[in-house]
A = this chain, B = another copy of it.
């Protein structure tokens, strides 16, 4: 089944992709477990981050919040920081943007495939890549701690 190979970019059906309602449920559950408050702002920001399956900028989130009432940058950044600490959201450094974590539960650095054409993003968690990184680092006497891996290119639909 060829399509299954592309599930990194698909959503909902048949995969481990978590969509907006599911993402919120998982978040709620994880926060409860960890005795952290999943406040309405945090929930709303998580929803907005998941709203498109593309990275979203902090100020785009802010705009959306402002249409529902007052809000200022710190509100957004605090919520995003919290969600990142909970491992529910990743920051994409090369885009200054944020995306919902596809594999929450255990905090981790993801690896990201980002389509230069349609801006869609898929999160990988390829041990193959992590291992290659770890081994190469080791050979330089370097002890890796955190990795940023962001691959720009063309997604299956756009290539």
- Which A residues lie at the B interface, using CB under 8 A? 5-9, 93-94, 111, 113, 115-116, 122, 124, 126, 128-129, 131-133, 135-137, 139-156, 159
Contact = CB atoms under 8 A, between A and B. Distances in A.
Nearest to A124: B136
A51 B115 CA distance: 36
A39 to B, nearest CB: 28
A137 B151 contact: yes
B154 A142 contact: yes
A151 B156 contact: no
Contacts of A154: 142-143, 145
Given A94-B93, A136-B111, A145 B116 contact: yes
Given A128-B135, A129-B132, A145 B141 contact: no
A145 B140 contact: no
A43 to B, nearest CB: 28
Given A124-B140, A142-B153, A148 B94 contact: yes
A140 B128 contact: no
B149 A9 contact: no
A101 to B, nearest CB: 17
B149 A137 contact: no
B122 A149 contact: no
